[in-house]
Amino acid sequence: MPIKGSTAALTLSTAVAIALTAGSALAQGQACERLELLSTDDDREVHFVDFDGDGPSIGDRRIGHRHLVDQSGNVVADRMWTVTVHDVNDAGEPTATTSESVTAFPDGTVFSMIDNRDPTNVDDPTTRHSNAQRPPQEIIGGTGAYAGATGTVEVIRGDDNLMTFIFDLDCP
């Protein structure tokens, strides 16, 4: 069911607050090294924010959250994202979107984004998106141990919707 205005903002704010206070087994000293993390659909939550109530239109958003785990299954980060609709074709399909992601680690946060010019189903929360057919997301900065970070985040969807997130980080 689509979420309306303030409820969606509250849900995203709550997810960010939880992510920023979550503990982790990620060892200190791994900041800005290449990280390969995993995520299943077990801890995935997605909502469509339909501001005008008539289906996808400019300004609507898809928001979500998922845990990222290391190879041993320990939660090491929380990833939140917002996909904003910038253009919709005559069939009502979003044809231009921007995805902005926040990945919160215990020692800082990484910000990344990617523009998408392909039709994207944003209003069905069961649809799994990945940028496997697209270039990696660009890292546009961070906080804490990731302040000033650049690089990329490659997202690969495998069998059974297992997602692999490869952070290729470069910090000043």
Going along the chain from its start, the domains and CATH numbers come out as 5-25+34-170 (2.40.480.10)
Using one digit for the tens of pLDDT, what is the confidence trace for 95-146? 999 999 999 999 999 999 999 887 778 887 777 665 555 689 999 999 999 9
Residue 162 has pLDDT above 70, yes or no: yes
Structure confidence at residue 22 as a pLDDT band (50, 70, 90): very low
- What's the mean per-residue pLDDT of the chain? 81
If one counts every other C-beta atom within 10 angstroms of the C-beta of residue 139, the result is: 23
Which of 60, 107, 51, 102 lies closest to 81, judged by CA? 102
Vertex 138: Cα angle to 107 and 135 (nearest 5): 135
Q: What is the CA radius of gyration of the chain?
A: 16
Taking the C-alpha atoms of residue 110 and residue 165, their distance in angstroms, rounded to an integer, is: 13
Q: Which residues contact 112 (CB under 8 A, 6 or more apart)?
A: 100, 101, 103, 137, 138, 139, 140, 152, 153
Using one digit for the tens of pLDDT, what is the confidence trace for 24-70? 334 344 678 899 999 987 888 999 999 999 899 999 999 999 999 99
